[in-house]
Amino acid sequence: MGKIAFLFAGQGSQAPGMGKELAENYKCADAVFNEATDALGFDIKDMIFNGDKETLMITENTQPTIVTMSVAALRVLQEKGINPDVVAGLSLGEYTAHVASGSLDFKDAVKLVRKRGKFMQEEVPVGKGAMAAILGLDADEVREATKKASEFGVCTGANFNCPGQIVVSGEVDAVAKCCEIAKEMGAKRAIMLDVSAPFHCALLKGAGDKLAKEMENVNVYDMQIPVITNVTAEYINSKDDIKGLLEKQVSSSVLWEDSIRKMIADGVDTFIEIGPGKALTGFMKKIDKEVRVFNVEDIASLEHTLAGLAE
């Protein structure tokens, strides 16, 4: 029997009504939405179930709503007796991974990511930063393109998602230049993304500093399940490293493909994406077609996953 990893979704997969079906059918899921409302002091349950797309797209709303929905889905799987050998999350999803591991209390995590969203949003004036997806080049080629584009301003690899799909981040002119360079190097496509801020680059260092201050009042606990961090694509050794890594993560590259390869090398053959959307499932198919991949975001996907795991 191989090992199971739980993977947690990042920003961009939010949708009105996400998790509603789970909450209506499982008390443990419904309780999570109520806990989040308690922690934040406003009706986040109503925002998620009945809100509009625009409200959910505001980063300081996006982050806590995704973490809440993901933890609700996690609780259902746990109730069904499905537990992981290792956890990881894409960017924002790393907070949910810590909740799954027991290293962060859910109420603390949801308050923290609301602040994180706010800090990330405020750090760079609108119009100054940009992100772009580079398709069809490998990691080293993208690093070369960002290096050349850096003459025009901050530009760096933000998300190393899977082979042939890498996101770059930085100042508008430099990112636009990087797209041109990437196309000259043979990229299939280089597309500017519709994002509210340039995530995971040096421009967000200040947001990480503010987050660090915020974390001074938060308790972290020993990890009950190993966590692989985006920053290094390695296991976190000690709870003493958690806050520093979460601070750094805001302005560091997300080494997602390397994180997945690390888990596969350690014997993980079943991956369950937990939370809204199937972005991580899509990346998995490009990283390794041999492993089993499931996702849990509603009753149908939950039942499919449980049936698949029982085989």
For the domain 129-195, what is the CATH code?
A: 3.30.70.250
Within 10 Å of residue 276's Cβ, how many Cβ atoms?
Answer: 24
Distance, in Å, from the CA atom of 39 to the CA atom of 202, rounded to the nearest integer, reads 31
Overall average pLDDT of the 122-136 stretch: 92
Q: Tell me which DSSP letter residue 81 carries.
A: T
Q: Per-residue pLDDT tens for 143-189?
A: 999 999 999 999 999 999 999 999 999 999 999 999 999 999 999 99
Structure confidence at residue 109 (pLDDT):
98
**Average confidence score pLDDT of the chain:** 96
Structure confidence at residue 43 (pLDDT):
96
Catalytic residue IDs: 91, 200
pLDDT for residue 135 is more than 80: yes
Ramachandran assignment for 127, one of left (phi > 0), alpha (psi -120 to 50 degrees), beta (any other): left
The CATH architecture to which 3-123+203-310 belongs is 3-Layer(aba) Sandwich (3.40)
Structure confidence at residue 13 (pLDDT):
86
Structure confidence at residue 197 (pLDDT):
85
Overall average pLDDT of the 41-60 stretch: 93
One-letter amino acid of 134: I
Structure confidence at residue 1 (pLDDT):
67
Q: Per-residue pLDDT tens for 56-97?
A: 988 899 999 999 999 999 999 999 999 999 999 999 999 999
Structure confidence at residue 225 (pLDDT):
98
Distance, in Å, from the CA atom of 296 to the CA atom of 5, rounded to the nearest integer, reads 13
Overall average pLDDT of the 28-38 stretch: 98
Q: What are the extents of the domains in the chain?
A: 3-123+203-310, 129-195
CA dihedral for 153, 159, 161, 162, sign (positive or negative):
positive
Q: Which residue has the tokens 């603390």?
A: 108
pLDDT for residue 293 is more than 90: yes
Structure confidence at residue 230 (pLDDT):
96
Structure confidence at residue 202 (pLDDT):
94
User: Helices 205-215 and 106-123 sit at what angle, rounded to 10 degrees?
Assistant: 150
Q: Which residue has the tokens 């041999």?
A: 290
CB 60 within 8 A of CB 121: yes
pLDDT for residue 196 is more than 80: no
Q: Per-residue pLDDT tens for 236-288?
A: 999 999 999 999 999 999 999 999 999 999 999 999 999 999 999 999 999 99
CA dihedral for 87, 135, 288, 157, sign (positive or negative):
negative
Structure confidence at residue 271 (pLDDT):
98
